[in-house]
């Protein structure tokens, strides 16, 4: 059975971030985040973004065009920031001060620019690209991601991206 990694964004306040960093020291980030998820879901601090997160990341970087600063800032959304997951877990932490820069670039990102970059990234992919990985409406995912970063920015909180394995059905 094929294993897919579902991407999840979590908005972390200071205490939750401290808990995740402590778990990272013992390579137990996944367990820590599992415990945090239910608490964070109650206040809207969790957003599942599906299995196409790697394509979304590549597209965000490409959407920055010739500007290294914009590409770098957009690359922070999913796979940027500080790696906390160790060898087997994808967990990327974006500090609150960087969150504000990400918000600015996501707000400036235009739909047509993003969708053009999306088509370019898809064209570069291998034909065996999993149908689960391609988003039906990638711009909707960007709007979700933008919403998470806006909430975190307003609250001066951090964002954590995690990829969790799920069986494909």
Pair of tokens at residue 25 = 């020291």
Percent of the chain with pLDDT over 90: 63
**Two tokens, residue 99:** 């969150």
Specify the fold of 11-167: Hypothetical protein yfbM fold (3.40.1760)
pLDDT of amino acid 169: 46
pLDDT per residue over 111-128, tens digit each? 999 999 999 998 887 555
pLDDT score of 5 more than 80: yes
**Alpha-carbon gap, residue 25 to 50, rounded angstroms:** 27
pLDDT of residue 133: 54
For residue 22, is pLDDT > 60?
yes
Our CA dihedral for 131, 136, 137, 142, rounded to 10 degrees, sits at -20
Question: What's the pLDDT tens digit per position in 126-167?
Answer: 555 554 455 678 999 999 999 999 999 999 999 999 997 754
């Amino acid at each position: 059975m094929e294993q897919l990694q579902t991407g999840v964004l979590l908005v972390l306040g200071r205490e939750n971030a401290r808990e995740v960093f402590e778990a990272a020291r013992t390579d137990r980030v996944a367990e820590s985040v599992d415990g945090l998820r239910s608490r964070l879901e109650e206040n809207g601090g969790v957003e599942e973004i599906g299995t196409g997160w790697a394509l979304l990341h590549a597209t965000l970087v490409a959407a920055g065009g010739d500007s290294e600063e914009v590409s770098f800032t957009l690359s922070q959304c999913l796979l940027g920031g500080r790696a906390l997951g160790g060898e087997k877990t994808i967990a990327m932490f974006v500090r609150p001060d960087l969150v504000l820069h990400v918000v600015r670039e996501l707000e400036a990102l235009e739909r047509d620019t993003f969708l053009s970059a999306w088509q370019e990234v898809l064209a570069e992919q291998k034909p065996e690209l999993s149908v689960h990985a391609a988003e039906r409406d990638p711009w909707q995912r960007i709007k979700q991601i933008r919403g998470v970063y806006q909430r975190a920015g307003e609250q001066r909180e951090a964002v954590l991206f995690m990829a969790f394995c799920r069986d494909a059905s």
